[in-house]
Amino acid sequence: KGATLDRTNSTADDKYYNNVKVAAMKADKVALKFVNNKFFEGMAAFIPAREPLVFDLFNSIKKDIDRIYGEGDVLKLIKSPYTEGDDDEYMAIRSGHGSCSAYWKTMMPNGKENYIALEITEDLVVKLRYQDAVLIQEAIKKQDEMASSDL
C-alpha cells in the first residue's frame, strides 16, 4: 500500500519501487528481479531517521527476521580507531573501519538453500536481500547466454 513503481528504471525483469511496506517497516526502495517471469531476488533499502540510529534499525529488522527463520548469523567487525560498544560504531562503518551483517539460510525440499542477508552499507543504509537458490542459477545461466550471444 502506498508503493510507487519507478517506471524510469524498471524493466520486464527488474522492478523498482519506492516507499514499500516490508513486514511492518517502510522500505525506502525495493528491487524485485525476475527470470522467465519468476521471482528470484529481492532487495530492500531502509534509511534510518538519523545516522546514529542505524544499528537500532538493523537490530529491529533482524529481530523480525529471527522470529520467522531463527537466529541469524551475525558478523560484526569494528576496527581501530573505533571500538565495539562505543557510540561511534556507525562512524566506523561509514569510514570503512567496520562492517555489520546477518545471514539466514532456509533449506528447500530439494536440498538447496535460499539466502537472506541483512547489512549496514558504508552509506549507512540497512539493506535486506533475499535470493532463491534454484532460480538464481537460472538467472546466471540466462545472463551467461545473453553475454555469449553478444560476442
Amino acid (one-letter) located at 62: K
Tens-digit pLDDT profile for residues 98-146 = 999 999 988 878 787 889 999 999 999 999 999 987 787 777 787 777 7
2: left (phi over 0), alpha (psi -120 to 50) or beta: left
- Does the structure show a pLDDT above 70 at 1? no
- Does the structure show a pLDDT above 70 at 151? no
Angle at 53 between CA 45 and CA 71, to 5 degrees: 70
Helix (H) or strand (E) holding 99: strand 98-107
Q: Are 128 and 44 in contact (CB under 8 A)?
A: yes
- Indicate the pTM of the whole model: 0.84
Tens-digit pLDDT profile for residues 18-66 = 988 887 788 999 999 998 888 889 999 999 999 999 999 999 999 999 9
Joined grid coordinates for residue 15 = 522492478
